[in-house]
Amino acid sequence: MRVYEYSKQYGIPNKELLKILQEGGFKINNHMSVLTQESINFLEKKIKKGSQEEQKKTDTPSKQKIGEKKSAEEKKINVSPVQAPKPKIEKPKEEEIVEEETLENELEKIIIPIKAMSLGELSEKLKKPVSEIILNLLKKKLIYNKNQILPIELVESLIREFGAEGIKQKEKEITVLKSFEIKVGKKLKKRLPIVVVMGHVDHGKTTLLDFIRKTRVAAKEKGGITQHLGAYQVRSSQGDMVFLDTPGHEAFSMMRMRGVRVADLVILVVAADDGIMPQTVEVIKITQSKNIPILVAINKADKVDSSRIEEVKSQLAKHNLLSEDWGGQTICVPISAKLGQGIDQLLEMIALQSEVMDLAADETINACGYVLESKIEKGLGPVATFISQHGILKVGDFFVCGNTLGKVTVLIDSFGNRLKQAGPSLPVQISGFMDLPQVGEFLQVVSEEEYKKAKNKPEERKNYNLKSIPQEAINIIIKTDNESSKEAILGAILQNKKKNKKEIYVINSGVGNISENDVILASNTLSVIYGFGVKADSNVNNLASQFSISIRLFDIIYKLLDDIQELIKSRQDIEYKKEKVGEAVVRKVFDIKGIGVIAGIYVKEGKILRGAQAQIWRNNRKIGEGQIKSLQRDKKVMKEIAAGFEGAFLIDGYTDWNVEDKVDCFIETPINQ
């Protein structure tokens, strides 16, 4: 059986079992690992011994005194000959074994931090030739050279296979940005895991989320409507967890861009009939770069046979996601999101993974976390969906969030209920912002004094801001063949900064060829990639084409700088003037179910154009305006209707029509273009 199955059967926590096994010399590091008969026997002895020791501790001093009065002969009879000498003989034996095997098992004494590292670095730490590690990887159908970075999961697997001991380093401080450090105390409390579902288009992400929402979201008085928050709480037999919905995906993209992490676990949905697709690969790479655990849900398992499931696992292995039943650490669960098959097992695996991750939060410090979604809501003004990482957010708290700040006036949970406070991992909607915050901004509760200082001196807010990008800026990424070329180009851009009406923002700069990561970053930040003396291979160009990212390569610096200036000119704000092109009068009004209110018109002069702007007049008074979004004549869709003809149209955002209303049609034409 597996570790988690043993845990369920005997009621012992997974973490405790893993600790006992590791102390006993068994190389078992995961709750999905299979227990051998030897390890099961060891556990039974250890647990039995532990219960005997616990029973001895419960013996009262009075019983011990009665025992002391017994004669020596009675003691010999009552004490087992095995129990008496065992403590004295057992310890020296263990020391002798360690001394004899010190030289043979020297590698077992090597402790290696589990982190992403190059193959060459791992070779040095393991004291093994590079060729031996490469051969080991080739057997798994994985190809790496000495300088390539190995993902953390693969590093952990290799450390275990070569007999060394890996150690995960726990962060005592959570650093959000250079000027803002969160000091976390020792009294941490368990919190709910935050899960984001990702994968390729049409592989079943939405279907999976819909099924979980309908069957596992805890019902409340107001019907458990959660979609407006972009995050919702799920209840399972293993405990509660939080799922990020579609708005959460947008936030997750922003978090990647800003170098922070909001999700604890990624559910990678892969359709069994399609297998690994380009967007799947993108998710895998980004998730691995952030060291976020991946749980794979192989969807549409009801439509394929078992051989196809195994083929998907083979594809996953090529991307360093080796399934646990193939000897790896990645949990793969076959599911049918449509039928609900395997969903309970998937939720159980999420709960087990979060238990091993030991997710905890400090509720004693000021609340802090991230904005997942923001909008203007009638009656509340600017509001935002927020998940706290630490601390308890309360109504009345002052906060700073990016370029805005405020005071919490209303807290609403994912079920529409008003709260007085909300703890870590619970998604809530906050109102009380002075301005609309950006998605992905870091929110921090501050004292009233700090709040007043930030409010009176906006420049003081920069201490609380994440590295933000101006909305009107032109974003570029620079890659060069050497450091001096990079410095020369960045220096020239800085010199021309004051001359430009549009601000140039260098999202990232580096030395080396253009990579897929550069394209992904450009996609997330809407940037243009400039390369000087470098190249982009076919894979990079294909990805750039897929994301509609422009890659511009140059060998002469001034030509590159000239192109940047041309880019700025092409994005200059263009001034427009309004020009009246037609006039019509309303003859009839139709309210058609499923379509809306349509105005039947007669064109008196000029022409009426689809997509143009319309102004509505009644008794020589302007009563409304909007865009002409639909235009028809004789039941045919038209681009325009000329003077002397009748027709009908829909105006976006306007429905209060009367017969004899006058309509003027306008188009905007650029000035000096």
CATH code of 409's domain: 2.40.30.10
Say if residue 111 is in the same domain as residue 53.
no
3-class secondary-structure state, position 116? coil
Say if residue 198 is in the same domain as residue 333.
yes
Which amino acid, 485?
A: S
The 8-class DSSP code of residue 109 comes to G
Q: Which residue has the higher pLDDT, 500 or 172?
A: 500
**In Å, what is the CA distance from 618 to each residue of 201, 324, 330, 659, 662?**
49, 72, 68, 10, 6
Could you report the per-residue pLDDT of 111-129, keeping only the tens digit for each? 777 877 778 888 888 888 8
**Average pLDDT estimate for 136-142:** 74
Question: What whole-number distance in Å separates Cα of residue 561 and Cα of residue 42?
Answer: 70
Say if residue 566 is in the same domain as residue 497.
yes
Last residue of a domain, one of 48, 68, 101: 101
Closest among 318, 255, 312, 313 to 287, alpha carbons compared:
255
> Is residue 172 one of the residues assigned to a domain?
no
3-class secondary-structure state, position 376? strand
Could you report the per-residue pLDDT of 379-429, keeping only the tens digit for each? 777 888 888 888 999 999 999 987 788 999 999 887 788 999 999 988 899
Say if residue 248 is in the same domain as residue 318.
yes
Res. 667: pLDDT tops 80: yes
Say if residue 557 is in the same domain as residue 491.
yes
> Is residue 177 one of the residues assigned to a domain?
no
**Average pLDDT estimate for 159-166:** 83
Host domain of residue 500: 474-570
In this predicted structure, what is the pLDDT of residue 353? 85
* Three-state helix/strand/coil letters over 221-286: CCCCCCHHHCEEEEEECCEEEEEECHHHHHHHHHHHHHCCCCCCEEEEEEECCCCCCHHHHHHHHH
Tally of domains in the chain? 6
Say if residue 565 is in the same domain as residue 596.
no
Maximum distance among all alpha carbons in the chain? 126
Res. 90: pLDDT tops 60: no
- CATH number for the domain harbouring residue 301: 3.40.50.300
Last residue of a domain, one of 439, 464, 489: 464
- CATH number for the domain harbouring residue 534: 3.40.50.10050
Q: Are 248 and 231 in contact (CB under 8 A)?
A: yes
Q: How does residue 35 score in pLDDT terms, banded at 50, 70 and 90?
A: confident
Q: How does residue 83 score in pLDDT terms, banded at 50, 70 and 90?
A: very low
In this predicted structure, what is the pLDDT of residue 143? 67
Say if residue 242 is in the same domain as residue 204.
yes
Say if residue 349 is in the same domain as residue 215.
yes
Could you report the per-residue pLDDT of 251-266, keeping only the tens digit for each? 444 444 444 467 888 8
Say if residue 115 is in the same domain as residue 231.
no
Side-chain-side CA neighbours of residue 176 (13 Å): 24
> Is residue 419 one of the residues assigned to a domain?
yes
> Is residue 184 one of the residues assigned to a domain?
no
Say if residue 325 is in the same domain as residue 235.
yes
Closest among 508, 513, 505 to 532, alpha carbons compared:
513
296: β partners: 268, 332
> Is residue 182 one of the residues assigned to a domain?
no
Cα dihedral across residues 326, 297, 17, 40: positive or negative: negative
Look at strands 636-637 and 621-633 and give their pairing.
antiparallel
Q: Which residue has the higher pLDDT, 421 or 219?
A: 421
In this predicted structure, what is the pLDDT of residue 463? 39
Helix%, strand%, coil% for the chain, nearest 5: 35, 30, 35
Question: What whole-number distance in Å separates Cα of residue 619 and Cα of residue 633?
Answer: 27
Q: Which residue has the higher pLDDT, 590 or 144?
A: 590
Q: Are 641 and 607 in contact (CB under 8 A)?
A: yes
Q: How does residue 54 score in pLDDT terms, banded at 50, 70 and 90?
A: low
Res. 179: pLDDT tops 50: no
Say if residue 81 is in the same domain as residue 145.
no
Q: What percent of the chain has pLDDT over 90?
A: 19
Say if residue 202 is in the same domain as residue 286.
yes
In this predicted structure, what is the pLDDT of residue 182? 55
Q: What percent of the chain has pLDDT over 70?
A: 76
> Is residue 455 one of the residues assigned to a domain?
yes
> Is residue 616 one of the residues assigned to a domain?
yes
In this predicted structure, what is the pLDDT of residue 290? 72
> Is residue 440 one of the residues assigned to a domain?
yes
Res. 226: pLDDT tops 70: no
Question: What whole-number distance in Å separates Cα of residue 523 and Cα of residue 547?
Answer: 6
